[in-house]
Structure 1
Amino acid sequence: MPTGALPRRAGRRTNLGLLALLLVAGGTGVLAFGVGTPLPSQVVATVHGAAGLGLLLLVPWKTVVVRRSRRRALGRRDPTVAWALAVLVVLTLATGVLHTVGGTAVAVAGVGILQVHVALGVATGLLVVLHAVGARQRPRRSDASRRVLLQAGVLAAGALALWGAVEGGLRLTGAPGGRRRATGSHERGSGDPSAMPVTQWFTDTVPTGDGGALELVAGGRTTRLRASDLDGGDVVTAVLDCTGGWYAEQEWRGVRLDRLLAGSGVELPDGGSVDVVSVTGYRRRLPLDDAAFLLLATHYAGEPLSAGHGAPVRLVAPGRRGYWWVKWVRRVEVVDAPWWLQPPVPLQ
């Protein structure tokens, strides 16, 4: 075996490990936006955090690889992309840790630290693709050898151990990060709507005016309802978990969607869905089978909804992230199309 073969293999394995961790961190970061129920959220958040912290475990080996590469390939390849990628990875990791530790209290130029983290993550993903293409590396049979798989298992175990140590430290010190929800969100304004942040999807805006009557469309029939008609006395205590990194538990009052549809006297399709549309055009489609768990809310904590929180009517969708909770509801329409036949996140 040539004397440089082992270091070259070690360098390749280090790069493969970094790439795998970046892909896992990016994939789970995207997945975290869609998962709102406790156990799946905890799994996704754990894997995301462990993959990010796991990058630190490979820093010593990557440092050796970088020094060796600079001596061997000096002048043969522009290192700009590689160094830009390194900086972005460090900043992405740092902002993720800051959100974990400090939560929504941390901001950069008025922008929440989680939003900065997401933007940096997207930029990192683009540079990973560019760097990988520029490296012109091809998969090899040895990449899936027993030794490599064993090393991957050790890396995964180390990453999980590091994540567990950080989580334990946050709880022991009483830091805000130790009280995060399974999704990673920090508590803001539970039981106190006035302290709950006013946010909406980045393409949406708070409308002016009262929005007019709500239209219930089912079986070809359209029924117009006033907000007062929707205060049916149904009460649900549910957690609004925003993808902006905060959550709040409130008591919501209004009418359950299944009761509203039953009162329409229309036969509902089996396996159908329901489109919930805002006055702004924002919409989400949900399974009709979930109607018993969905609430069209007019009040929270005994008070009428504010404009910023969706007045006069908003959807309450327990177990789903905040972007499913459509504000300023203008139309509810029963459709035959499956609920999953829509973009995974709102595009309008």
Structure 2
Amino acid sequence: MWPASRLRDVADAVRPPPRLVDWSLLALVGVEAASGLLSFTVGSPSGWPLFWLHRIVGLTIVALLGFKLARVRHRLTDRSRWRPTTALSVATLVAAVGALATGIAWVLGLDARLWLWTLLSVHVGFGLVLVPLIAAHLATRFRLPQRRDFHRRRTTLKYAALLLGGGVVYRAQEVANDVLETPGADRRFTGSQPRQGDGNGAFPVTSWVADDPDPIDPGEWSLAVRGAVETPLSLAYDEVVVDGEALSEREALLDCTSGWYTVQRWRGIRVGDLLDAAGVDESARYVRFVSVTGYRWSLPVEEARDALLATHVADERLSHGHGGPMRLVAPGRRGFQWVKWVERVEVRRRDDPAQWLVTLVSGFD
């Protein structure tokens, strides 16, 4: 083990100037928030660099936060030096440590729940709270960097060393997970952990924000197909499910943003078959899937054709919690884009940017 003096030498060699540490923390927390939110939309393995960026930057923040605490620790431990802004500083520290601790614990494979939320959900919550807190904290001690802080080559090398160190630590953690066969070794590239089994009971019932409608009677439900089509359709449940059997089947992986994934055999009706039956206008570019709650998501027409509107999972009729009578199965998309309780399919000439807002407010009365 290295002596403490050697560790201090290494820390001194890579520590940026104090003002740059403060502004770097703000910038990197912004990067973490942006990459974390963007990662919610990435379900294809080709998106792995975004997740690596998020994790490496997170580990870099650990080092910068250590530098910051070493510099200001006396202000926190000496009550005589507390100021009205100290409470804000403490709240910012709690949010930062909470975000880092829950993120690291999740990567290591810890699968605990805090009431209704997984550790990953708690991590997201801490991260969203941290962004305004750190901005407010920096505003109370506003100091612009000075020219001498930007010794170009030296500063660049320090930040390169910090980011490289974050990458090495993250890669070492992945190797350790594999060698030790920890629960983290089974994570998907998104960080999601597996849920084994078949059917409704094999994976958790989750809802995005506030979506929680009353159970739907399949006998009173119907599916409408309308918009830029030649022949609008209205299909009863018995027209989609014939003699208890769905018309089409496919295996697909559902990766939920709350931190789990499952591979299931889904049965229902191909969206492409619906579009062919309705006759899609040549000008159509998107297909929007709308829930009974108003929740909605759109897919490009060609991608939508390959999607499935499922009525069954494995050999079971979809339960209400999993979106029955019908939910969208969109391979390569994250779970919040697999719209539950679908009642309308709308063929459109334009995209629907407002769907982002709707995901946050649907379900609220």
Which amino acid in structure 1 is aligned with residue 239 of structure 2?
A: D
Of the three residues 54, 63, 70, the one matched with 1:64 is: 70
1:224 maps to 2:231: no
- Whether 2:235 is the aligned partner of 1:250: answer no
CA gap of 1:262–1:189, structure 2 versus 1, over 3 A, is same
Q: 1:182-261 counterparts in 2 under 5 A?
A: 182-210=189-217, 212-218=221-227, 219=229, 221-231=231-241, 233-261=247-275
Q: Counterpart in 2 of 1:130? A: 136
Q: 1:274 aligns with which of 270, 287, 304?
A: 287
TM-score by length of 2: 0.84
| CA–CA separation in structure 1 for the residues paired with 2:159 and 2:257 | 31
Partner residue of 2:318 out of 298, 305, 311: 305
| Structure 1 residues 83 and 256: alpha-carbon distance in aligned structure 2, compared to 1, 3 A threshold | same
Structure 1 residue 126 displacement after superposition: 1.5
The amino acid of 1:298's aligned partner reads T
Give 3-state SS (helix, strand or coil) of 2:261's partner: strand
Q: Which amino acid aligns with 2:240?
A: L
Long gaps (5+) in structure 2? 1-14
**SS of corresponding position for 1:263:** helix
TM-score by length of 1: 0.88
Kindly tell me: are residues 34 and 141 of structure 1, through their superposed partners in 2, closer, same or farther at Cα, counting changes over 3 Å? farther
Aligned AA (1:173): L
- 1:194 and 1:9 map into 2 onto residues whose CA distance is 51
The structure 2 residue matched to 1:116, chosen from 113, 122, 125, is 122
Q: How does 1:1-348 map to 2 (within 5 A)?
A: 10-40=17-47, 42-67=48-73, 74=81, 78-103=85-110, 105-138=111-144, 140=146, 145-210=152-217, 212-218=221-227, 219=229, 221-231=231-241, 233-264=247-278, 266-340=279-353, 342-343=355-356, 346-347=359-360, 348=362
Tell me the alpha carbon deviations over residues 7-42 of structure 1, each in whole angstroms, 9 at most, x when there is no partner: x972123323333332222221111111111120x2
Percent of counterpart pairs with the same letter?
36
Distance 1:68 1:149 in 2: 29
4+ aligned runs moved over 4 Å, structure 1: 67-71, 73-77, 139-144
Q: What is the aligned partner in structure 2 of residue 4 from structure 1? A: none
Q: Which amino acid aligns with 1:226?
A: A
Letter in 2 for 1:170: N
1:168-213 deviations in Å (ceiling 9; x for gaps): 2222211111110111101113434312111111210043232511
Q: CA deviation at 1:273?
A: 1.1
Deviations 1:146-188 (A, max 9, x none): 3322221111101111111222222221111111011110111
Equivalences, count = 338
Q: Which runs of 5+ in 1 are unaligned?
A: 1-7
The Cα of 1:132 is off from its aligned counterpart by 2.0
